[in-house]
Amino acid sequence: MLVLKEDLRKILKKPMGRLFPNFEDVIPLLKKTEFFISVGDETTLNLIKNDLTPNLAIIDYSIQRRQHNIDLNYTTNVFNVDNPPGTITDQLWETIDLAIKKSVNENQLIVVNGEEDLAVLPCCLMAPEYGVILYGQPDQGLVLVKISDIREKAEEYIEMFERIY
């Protein structure tokens, strides 16, 4: 299991990609994208509302730390994992790997019991080079991360976590 250190927490509060204050501005870019992952409930909900189905979505039934009961099941291919806040568990890592491999043929959904925020990092390492990841930046907008632009930096961030065996 990887545990987030305080100094890295500050770094990760900044957008890792391009920030879009208005969700609508990202729609034309996504229509040209072959593969995209959404991390977060509000991001996934906005995509679905705009007929943009992520190849993989990772949610935790919480928006800005508040639980909700909005139906986000856009596929029957659903994985359930436990992942406490501030961590990346082995189970989450392995499930992301499996879901990405399966998402080439069918859309996948990972429902996290705990918190999904840090799932962006393993996605950056395992998603296809041509893919993008979308996640919400609280009170600022939507972040679009190109895998080709972030992979090396994501590896550096992962190395900064505390490893617990």
CA angle, 37 as apex, 33 and 38 as ends, to 5°?
120
Read off the amino acid at residue 22.
N
**24 in a structural domain:** no
Number of domains in the chain: 1
Helices (H) and strands (E) in the chain, counts: 6, 12
**79 in a structural domain:** yes
**28 in a structural domain:** no
Q: Which residues of the chain have pLDDT under 70?
A: none
Residue pLDDT, tens place only, 116-154? 999 999 999 999 999 999 999 988 999 999 999 999 999
**16 in a structural domain:** no
**Entry pTM:** 0.95
**5 in a structural domain:** no
In whole angstroms, what is the distance from residue 143 CA to residue 136 CA? 6
Give the domain range for residue 57: 35-65+74-126
**95 in a structural domain:** yes
For residues 142 and 134, the answer to whether their CB atoms sit within 8 Å is yes
**84 in a structural domain:** yes
